[in-house]
Amino acid sequence: MSRADAEGVAPVANTAGADPVIVGMEVLIEDVRFSYPSGVEAVKGVSLSIRPGERVAIVGQNGAGKTTLVRQLNGIFRPTSGRVQVGDWITSEHTIAELATRVGYVFQNPDEQLFARTVRADVEFGPRNLGLDSAQVARRAETAIEAVGLSGVADLHPHHLSLSERKRVALAGVVAMGTPVVVLDEPTTGQDAAGVDMIAQVVAALTDAGRTVIAITHDMEFCAEHFDRVIVMAGGQVLVDGHPRDVFVRDAELDAAAVEPPQLTRLARALGWDDQPLSAEEFVGAFARRGAHS
C-alpha cells in the first residue's frame, strides 16, 4: 500500500457554511478472513457487530491480527473472504478515497502518516480534502490540535516533535476529518499519564458526539477505565467479546491471548474480593464497603 493510496482522499460535495453534523455508523464484520500475499493467514473468520456510537477496545497478543482486521474497515486491505459493512456501504464496493470519508484510522506508527511541514498543515490536510471551506478547515484543525494538547507546537515541523507528540498529531488529523467511525491503533503507546488522560477525553468526546470508536490497545488500565466493550483476539480469531468486568475474569482466554487483567482487578482477586473493580475509584469503593462490614 502506498501513502498516496491511504491518504489520497477524494473531495466530496462541498457543504459550505455550517459544519455538517456527524453521526456514528454501524460496523458489521461478517466472517472475514485475510491472508497476506506471503501466505500468512492473519484473520481467520471474524464476525463482529459494532453499534453506532459504541466505544470498543480490541486487545490480544502480538501478531493476533488486530491491525490486519481494522485495516479491512477502510479498504487498505480487502477481505480474502467475508464482508465488511460501514453504515450502508459494503466496503468492497467503495474506493479507499470514499471509505476515508467514513472511517478515520490512526496508524500504529505515526511516521507512516505524517508528511506535512507543520503540525497544523498536517491536521488540515484531511478536512481540506473533504472539500470543506477554509474557515471550517481551520476551525476543525484548531479544535483537534487543542484537544490533543499541541496548540503550543502547531507551527513546528512534526519531525521536531517527540514520538508521543507525533502520535497525537496523527490523532488530531483523524479527529479533524470528522468521520463517523474512528479507528485508533494503539493510541496510548508512549504517552505519559497526562497524554493517556487526554486521549481518553478525546475518545469520550467522540462517542459522546455519537461517533463510533474502535481502539486497539495493550494498555489494560486504559481499556478497563474507558471502554464498555472489550474484544480479545488471538490467532486471527475473537476469543471473548463483552464488558470489561465479564472479560477480565476469563482466565483461560486471557492467557491464550497473552493478556492480563488490570492491576487493581488482579489485586482485588488476590484479596479474595468478589467484585471486579476496574478503576482506583471502584477499588477504593469496594474497600470501603468491606470496612463497613468489619
Ligand X SMILES: Nc1ncnc2c1ncn2[C@@H]1O[C@H](COP(=O)(O)OP(=O)(O)OP(=O)(O)O)[C@@H](O)[C@H]1O
Q: Choose the binding region for ligand X from 95-103, 123-131, 163-171, 254-262 (rule: CB under 6 A).
A: 163-171
Q: How far apart are CA 190 and CA 283, in angstroms?
A: 26
Interface with other proteins: number of residues (CB under 8 A): 51
Handedness of CA 214, 220, 226, 230 (dihedral sign): positive
- 161 interacts with ligand X by CB under 6 A: yes
Cell of residue 202, nine digits: 478525546
Question: Using CB under 8 A, which residues numbered 175 to 234 contact other proteins?
Answer: 186, 189-196, 218, 220-221
Residue nearest to Mg ion (CB): 67
Least separation in angstroms between residue 138's CB and ligand X is: 24
Least separation in angstroms between residue 210's CB and other proteins is: 30
Binding-site member from 1, 5, 36, 134 for ligand X (CB under 6 A): 36
- 2 interacts with other proteins by CB under 8 A: no
- 2 interacts with ligand X by CB under 6 A: no
281 binds, among Mg ion, other proteins, ligand X, none (CB under 5 to 8 A by kind): other proteins
> DSSP class of residue 250?
-
Q: How far apart are CA 122 and CA 113, in angstroms?
A: 9
Nearest Cα neighbor of 78 from 92, 94, 93 is 92
What does 88-137 look like in DSSP terms, one character per residue? TEEGGGS-HHHHTTTEEEE-SSGGGT--SSSHHHHHHHHHHHTT--HHHH
Backbone phi, psi, residue 223, to 5°? -65, -50
Q: How far apart are CA 279 and CA 224, in angstroms?
A: 7
Quick one: 162 or 294, whose CB is closer to ligand X?
162
Quick one: 57 or 132, whose CB is closer to ligand X?
57
Quick one: 67 or 129, whose CB is closer to Mg ion?
67
Q: Which residues bind Mg ion (CB under 5 A)?
A: 67, 162
